[in-house]
Amino acid sequence: MRNQPPSLPSTAKRNIEAIAQVEQSLLRKRRFAERMGALVARFFGSLLFIAAHIFVMTLWIIINAGGVARITPFDPYPFSLLSLIVGIEFIFLTTFVLLNQKYQIRREEQWSHLHLQLSMLTEQEVTMNVQMLRAISEKLGIQNAITDDELAEMAKPTSVTAFVGEIEKSRDFGPPADEFVMGMEKEAAQNGRGT
């Protein structure tokens, strides 16, 4: 009897389906130029493209170096026409790659926004859970959990704007990373001795 892989819980399957639906929706919303840019960028990034270039350029150089007796060279060394064609191709290639990157950036921004919204929702749900647990603890007469300052702080909603402001402030004026880590370790050691 063969071992079958473990099956996923139904909630995980629903999450995968929801993510796939969001991805499909984002793909359907692409503009024509973005679709073309993705197709061209995919082709330019393939081994077929490299092989075609090697073949065409080798043939071009052989013909124009006089390597084929029956064909008159039409772009003698230093292959100015070939350089012009490659330069124009590079311009188009760069444009298509930039179109594709623009789409990828927009898509990442959409996913980042979704992650932020879900994180904020999770934080709100956790805050509500902590508040409910405190209420249950009070009802049952468990005093240790009620007087904990850190728990009381966690029971308050987190201000996103305060978070952003603190992050910006620490980026601009924060201590060097090694000082910060040493301070955190010292604080953790003090908290460990105090209990």
Residue 38 or 195, more confident: 38
Q: What average pLDDT does this structure show over 79-89?
A: 93
Q: Kindly tell me if the per-residue pLDDT of 96 is higher than 60.
A: yes
At 185 the pLDDT is 64
Q: Kindly tell me if the per-residue pLDDT of 142 is higher than 80.
A: no
Q: What is the pTM of this model?
A: 0.53
Q: What average pLDDT does this structure show over 9-34?
A: 81
At 148 the pLDDT is 66
Q: Kindly tell me if the per-residue pLDDT of 68 is higher than 80.
A: yes
Please report, in angstroms and rounded to a whole number, the separation of the first and last CA atoms in the chain. Answer: 55
At 194 the pLDDT is 45
Residue 46 or 192, more confident: 46
Q: Kindly tell me if the per-residue pLDDT of 114 is higher than 80.
A: yes
Residue 194 or 171, more confident: 171
Q: Which of 96, 105, 85 is nearest to 41 (CA)?
A: 96
Q: Which of 111, 132, 123, 110 is nearest to 160 (CA)?
A: 123
Token pair belonging to 166: 């603190």
Of 80-89, 131-140, 145-154, the least confident = 145-154
Token pair belonging to 71: 């064909």
